[in-house]
């Protein structure tokens, strides 16, 4: 179906439409209404697609503009403040890395604690067997 074209065959081939609407003028009115509603739906869909494209483009441009203005602002800072910002960023990265390391260490400690408990149970079992053999 071409853009702006209406599916008139639905109404023309429908016995229901011909029985319900005795005059051809009424059929034309219903066809016009149907085409109008279909055209509105197509226009709404086109508007939605255009809106999505514009939103995507706008977000992209915002990210680019933000990076540009941040760079301009950073370039205007005195060298001492630039150095302080860079050192702060490095410290924040180090904190993140240490948090990850602490989480991994905690997980490893839990695993090793479970293994230690298993070894203690096994040692207790061997002590009981040994005591039972010596008590004979």
Domain-by-domain residue ranges, the chain? 79-136
87 vs 13, residue with greater confidence: 87
Q: For residue range 40-93, list pLDDT tens digits in order.
A: 888 888 889 999 999 999 999 999 999 999 999 999 999 999 999 999 999 999
As given in the structure block, the two tokens for residue 23 are: 């005059």
Return d(Cα 70, Cα 58) in angstroms, integer.
Answer: 18
Return d(Cα 104, Cα 110) in angstroms, integer.
Answer: 10
Threshold 0.75, pTM exceeds: no
């Amino acid at each position: 179906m071409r853009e702006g074209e209406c599916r008139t065959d639905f109404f023309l081939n429908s016995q229901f439409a011909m029985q319900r609407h005795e005059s051809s003028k009424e059929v034309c009115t219903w066809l016009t209404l149907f085409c109008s509603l279909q055209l509105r739906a197509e226009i709404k869909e086109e508007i939605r697609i255009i809106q999505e494209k514009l939103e995507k483009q706008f977000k992209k441009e915002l990210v680019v503009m933000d990076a540009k203005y941040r760079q301009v602002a950073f370039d205007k800072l005195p060298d001492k403040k630039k150095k302080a910002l860079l050192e702060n960023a490095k410290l924040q990265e180090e904190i993140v890395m240490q948090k990850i390391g602490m989480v991994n260490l905690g997980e490893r400690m839990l695993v090793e604690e479970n293994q230690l408990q298993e070894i203690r149970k096994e040692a207790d079992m061997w002590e009981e067997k040994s005591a039972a053999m010596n008590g004979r």
